[in-house]
Amino acid sequence: MEQMPARYLLPFILAAPLLQGVMDARLLAFFHVLAAALLSLRLWRGKEAGLTPSAACLLAVALFSALAVYLSPVRHAVYHEWLALAAGLCLFFLAKGQSVKDRAFTDAGIRAVSWALAAVALYQAFILKSEDVSSTLVNPNALAFFVLLAGPLAVARGDFVLTAVLALVFFLTGSLGALLALIAAAAFMAVIALRRSGDRRALVLLAVLAAAAVLTLTQSDFISAANRFSWWRSAAAMFADSPVFGHGHSAFTWLYPLYGSPAAAEGSVYAHNHYLEFAAENGLPAALAWFSLLGMALAGARRLALFGLLAALLHSALDFGLSLPANFWLFCVLAGRELPAAEKPFFRGDGRPAAVLAGLLAAAAAFSSLTPASYEKETGTALARLREGADQAALQSLRRASALPYGRGETEETSGRLRYSISRRTGSREDLFLAAVDLEKALLKMPSRYSSASALRALYAGAGLPGLAEHERFGRRGEP
């Protein structure tokens, strides 16, 4: 089958990391549509498609994870997140079989975006004096994840200036989890070298790495570690509730409060463990197919590529780097090109039907962006009207937004809070009643939302209804 030139993947390598911090529904939709369209183009040009082991795993992940979203109790909140996963799977396939020239082209793109991200990070650190150096990737840990992927490529190219700059950026992120992953990956590579060569000097390196790991652990925040254990227990409980079908990709964000421990110091939108989170959200069949695919990529990876991928996967046992689309897509490109190039297919067939299906996925991704775009337009209008002091106009925009199958209760909560504010200002019992209605609707759409439960409890308490305010249904969800 004809390979996809590496230049077509540049938007995911160059643009996605730089835009991660400002991605909205429309930007995400562009990347989703582009990934599916590129897959369709490759299949159409290839004319012949073979179902290889890696292709079978990709197809299984896509189908079972899509089924998990369809059966999800929060389907309307997470279906667009599944499209980000599907885009990554497309990139995994598109990157397979890259020639030496295409690999060099991809590496050059990663080198360029590495310099751009490093420049932003250094600006944050030394000009803005920011305590959280995250560049454009939302969070310092996410930036550290990117460096784990890009750093080994800089070393492989002999670009030691970029290597030194990325090492400085890595240090500035202060990510202990990424440092532990780096140490563990280095130890793994040292063990491989020891087994292959028998050179016992590797034992000295292993001892140094073990000492570095112990020192790193002594610097860790034990509150953060306790929180992670709590999030992992919640993800495990989610998986136990629905081990086969899962709860839908990215459902942990919405369902965590239903499984969270009352003793947890803080909540989280991620489980901070890719393996538990993926299994809980997508179900066991999808997880087995995905982890098998990752195993194939690692098994065929070259030495420095293996080091980067392994470090990223180890980091993903402690953090959420793979939950951000930009990092996930880059990971899929780098892992996909390490898949065995000479896989024997189970069978070969006409590639046109597969191309049509990929084209339909691109069309579905484009169509699915219409609702989020309309939702964002109405909520944006509502916020503008609020700033102008036009309460009723804001409420009308919120009503139009809440009628759309998207958002899972944000608009109802905002409307309820606004009506409650109006009722306190004017003494209107009608607005007080409608505020309670809106907040009850918000809780019906998303029973796990802390803020809606807290606002509703405050409303009932302020209205002189202690029985409702202290009702058992709020439980720990009502805690601020």
pLDDT in tens, 125-183: 999 999 889 999 989 999 999 999 999 999 999 999 999 999 999 999 999 889 999 99
> What integer pLDDT is reported at residue 168 of this predicted model?
96
CA pair distance 402, 411, nearest whole angstrom: 6
What is the mean pLDDT of the segment spanning 399-421? 81
CA end-to-end distance (rounded Å), the chain: 56
Confidence label for 408 from pLDDT (cuts 50, 70 and 90):
low
Query: Does the pLDDT of residue 265 top 70, yes or no?
Result: no
Joined together, the tokens standing for residue 289 give 């197919």
CA pair distance 271, 244, nearest whole angstrom: 19
CA distances from 226 to 175, 229, 267, 272 (A): 16, 5, 12, 12
CA distances from 104 to 99, 125, 157, 295, 429 (A): 9, 31, 9, 24, 68
Query: Does the pLDDT of residue 373 top 70, yes or no?
Result: yes
User: Considering Cα of 189, then 193, then 196, then 201, what sign does the dihedral take?
Assistant: negative
Confidence label for 280 from pLDDT (cuts 50, 70 and 90):
very high
Confidence label for 480 from pLDDT (cuts 50, 70 and 90):
very low
Which of 98, 106, 102 lies closest to 340, judged by CA?
Answer: 98
CA distances from 346 to 50, 60, 361 (A): 7, 15, 24
What is the mean pLDDT of the segment spanning 82-91? 94
Give pTM, 2 decimals: 0.84
Helix (H, G, I), strand (E, B) or coil at 350: strand
Domains of the chain plus CATH, in order, are 6-368 (no CATH), 374-478 (1.25.40.10)
CA pair distance 236, 266, nearest whole angstrom: 18
CA pair distance 422, 433, nearest whole angstrom: 11
Joined together, the tokens standing for residue 436 give 């309670």
DSSP conformation class of 12: I
Query: Does the pLDDT of residue 244 top 90, yes or no?
Result: yes
Helix (H, G, I), strand (E, B) or coil at 50: strand
Q: Which tens digit of pLDDT belongs to each residue from 30-81? A: 999 999 888 888 888 776 677 889 989 999 999 999 999 999 988 877 888 8
CA pair distance 139, 177, nearest whole angstrom: 13
CA pair distance 160, 152, nearest whole angstrom: 11
- Determine what percent of the chain is predicted with pLDDT higher than 90: 42
In sequence order, what are the residues at sequence separation of 6 or more whose Cβ sits closer than 8 angstroms to the Cβ of residue 82?
65, 66, 69, 248, 249, 250
CA pair distance 425, 412, nearest whole angstrom: 20
Confidence label for 23 from pLDDT (cuts 50, 70 and 90):
confident
CA pair distance 27, 225, nearest whole angstrom: 34
